[in-house]
């Protein structure tokens, strides 16, 4: 396959729309609750979409104007090599990635929303393992951590 075409974010992958629709219908409780706070520009006017196909992946939440992907992770994502690869791909394509655990989104929604706002406003802009944030320019750091 042509590598340039494979990296074209505007090109729909076969089945990507169907997968995104299925994920929207089968969202977790944490995704459902966070979506209630992100939809319709409720978070300081920022527009978010949910279950958005991006290349070979589907992002839980995406703020296109700020190129921020917000992921809600269950315990199966702990120490996930595939999540590192996914984050690398998103970073390499200009997307910052912010991850939260399901329990954080359910029990600590206000701090979660405040963290998202801090990233969107630029108050948080450097990679941080504690809050699980990888800006788009963190790709080199991520690659170095896997070697």
Q: What is the mean pLDDT of residues 111-121?
A: 97
CB 108 within 8 A of CB 116: no
* Sole residue written with tokens 């994920």: 23
CATH of the domain at 25: 3.40.960.10
122: DSSP letter: T
The pTM (predicted TM-score) of the whole model is 0.80
**In the chain, how many domains are there?**
1
Beta bridge partners of 99: 71
Instruction: Give, for 71, the enclosing helix (H) or strand (E).
Output: strand 68-73
Q: Among 39-48, 53-62, 91-100, 136-145, where is mean pLDDT lowest?
A: 136-145
Instruction: Assign 3 a pLDDT band (cuts: 50, 70, 90).
Output: very low
State the residue range of the domain holding 134.
3-146
Q: Which residue has the higher pLDDT, 21 or 147?
A: 21
CB 32 within 8 A of CB 25: no
**Residue length of the chain:** 147
- What pLDDT, in 10s, does the model give residues 66-103? 999 999 998 776 778 899 999 999 999 999 999 999 99
- pLDDT attached to residue 136: 93
């Amino acid at each position: 396959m042509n590598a340039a075409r494979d990296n074209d974010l505007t090109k729909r992958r076969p089945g990507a729309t169907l997968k995104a629709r299925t994920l929207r219908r089968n969202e977790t409780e944490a995704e459902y609750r966070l979506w209630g706070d992100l939809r319709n520009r409720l978070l300081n006017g920022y527009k978010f979409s949910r279950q958005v196909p991006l290349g070979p992946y589907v992002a839980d939440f995406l703020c296109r104007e700020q190129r921020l992907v917000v992921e809600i992770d269950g315990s199966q994502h702990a120490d996930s090599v595939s999540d590192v690869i996914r984050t690398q791909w998103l970073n390499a394509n200009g997307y910052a990635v912010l991850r939260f655990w399901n329990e954080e989104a359910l029990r600590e929604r206000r701090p979660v929303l405040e963290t998202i706002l801090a990233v969107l406003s630029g108050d948080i802009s450097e990679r941080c393992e504690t809050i699980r944030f990888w800006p788009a320019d963190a790709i080199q750091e991520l690659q170095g951590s896997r070697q």
